[in-house]
Amino acid sequence: MKTINGIGVSPGVVSAPAFYVAKTKHAEIVLGSLSEILSALESVAKDLDSKAAQTNMTIAKDVIEAQAMIARDPELHSKIQSLIGESSSDLRIVLEKSFEQFKIDLTNLGGYFAERVSDLDEIKHLVVNKLLGLEEASIDIMSDSILVAEDLSPADTATINLKFVKGLVVSKGGPTSHTAIVARNLGIPAIVGAKGAENIRHGDFLLLNGRKGVVIVDPSSTEINSAIKRERELKNKTSRVSGPGRLKDKTLVNLLANAGNIQDAKKALELDAEGIGLFRTELLYLNQTKIPTINEQVALFSELFEMFNDKKIIIRTLDAGSDKPVPFLKSEKEENPALGVRGWRLVREHKQIISEQLKAISIAAEKSKCDVWVMAPMIDTPNEAKEFSGLAKSFGIKKVGVMIETPAAAILADKIFAEVDFASLGTNDLTQYVMAADRLDSRLSDLTNTWHPSVLRMIQIAGSYATKMNKPLGVCGEAGADPLLAAILIGLGVTSLSMSSNSIEEVKGFISTLTKSQCEKTALKVVRCSSAEQARDLAQKELN
């Protein structure tokens, strides 16, 4: 028996043989010309277009379409041309060098574009396949299996046969990787960052616990039965809870959904979300070559608000800039964009864009019965909070808040709360900044864990001020989707949780078994721990 630990990103327990998917290895020289490599890139782009058209999963479709755009990117083509010239060269070496240069460019841009870096390896691999006349082995699974791989492309993950694929295990990636995001939407148990998974052999019998982030190779029947029984008991205990989110003592906890487009919003309604806790407006602009007019923005927001009638929607203003570049912003290149002009800092260079967005939201809200709240990302100081609040309220927006996603904002939360009506914790970025670890780097996945007491203590500071000042404090990062962590966050002063729609039912069921006092007492014990593992184990024991 061998145990492999990783990051559980989608809960559930399943046992089945491993179906190991290995990528084709490229070792041979590939001689050819610029025209051949450009032709291969276009062929890969067309294949991706076809796969995007075949999937009904919005998140996967968006990612695959982004990969096709990268394959056609003129900047990438220019780098290839500068390296290859017009003569015949080893195209594999040319691709390695040009993609590495392009990867550096995207990494320096940060944010949305840095998240595309992992796509480059997949695109490069597919292009070499084309040049060699190879076809990647299809994931043709016809019996119950747990899919194991070094990593999976969004296209692979989105097209697997859910009739037979019972779970996913990949050795790379973190909680915000494409595989993690798509797995959550598929609703199957999944673990990422499972170092050692590459040593699992095809056919090995596995026990996968997506809640704990553990894979056991060749488990005993006792271990299998015990894990499945425990998971079933938890599911039975936490399912079939209707109505709004509330604790056992009737304390209300808003359970909302994260969304980036109309399709996400529709799914949230279908899965009984109480509203939208984070609507990412920047996703509406990423492919725009010019600034959308106020009327165009009003039309989009009106469609969204009409869907939710009297429900709450929290709109996050444009979280863009050098870290999430949109074509019409023309942001300057920065050495460290995660610490640069992003989020609310965008007003330093593009105040008109934020003002027009706030005006459009206000006009659409006036015509709607929807309860519209608006918040700004990347607020660091009380003065920034005051400036945003004044600007938003000048357009008639009634509920104005900010994102708390930096240590500076958390530490001065009392001063910030004095300027706004509410706040929401962005746990992904907050964890990254507290731990000084890039959340997109799979090598640091053990550090980018919101369970770390350093992160929880930062949340505790913000939560204590929210409670004292009677201000709503939400969470809209990935942390809210973990039922156990959700309970700890509630104990630290959080009053609402926003997550992927698929996670709402289980979180609702779990917190309905707990009282506010239980959450608070356990949270106080957890923040005294010295590691993320110790913190989670203690919470599991206390809230069993």
By annotation, the residues acting in catalysis are 178, 476
Answer for the pair 379, 404: CB distance below 8 angstroms, yes or no: yes
What angle do helix axes 262-270 and 58-71 make, rounded to 10 degrees? Answer: 160
Task: Determine whether 290 is exposed, middle or buried from the number of CB atoms within 10 Å of its CB (0-12, 13-18, 19+).
Answer: exposed
* Residue type (1 letter), 211: R
* Residue type (1 letter), 164: F
Q: Which residue, 428, 442, 437, 438, is CA-closest to 170?
A: 442
DSSP 311: S
Other Cβ atoms closer than 10 A to 312: 18
Strands 13-21 and 205-209, bridge-based pairing: antiparallel
In whole angstroms, give the CA distance from residue 173 to residue 440. Answer: 8
In whole angstroms, give the CA distance from residue 246 to residue 239. Answer: 14
For residue 476, report the phi and psi dihedrals to the nearest 5 degrees: -130, 15
Answer for the pair 252, 244: CB distance below 8 angstroms, yes or no: yes
Answer for the pair 126, 340: CB distance below 8 angstroms, yes or no: no
Q: Which residue, 42, 44, 39, 61, is CA-closest to 52?
A: 61
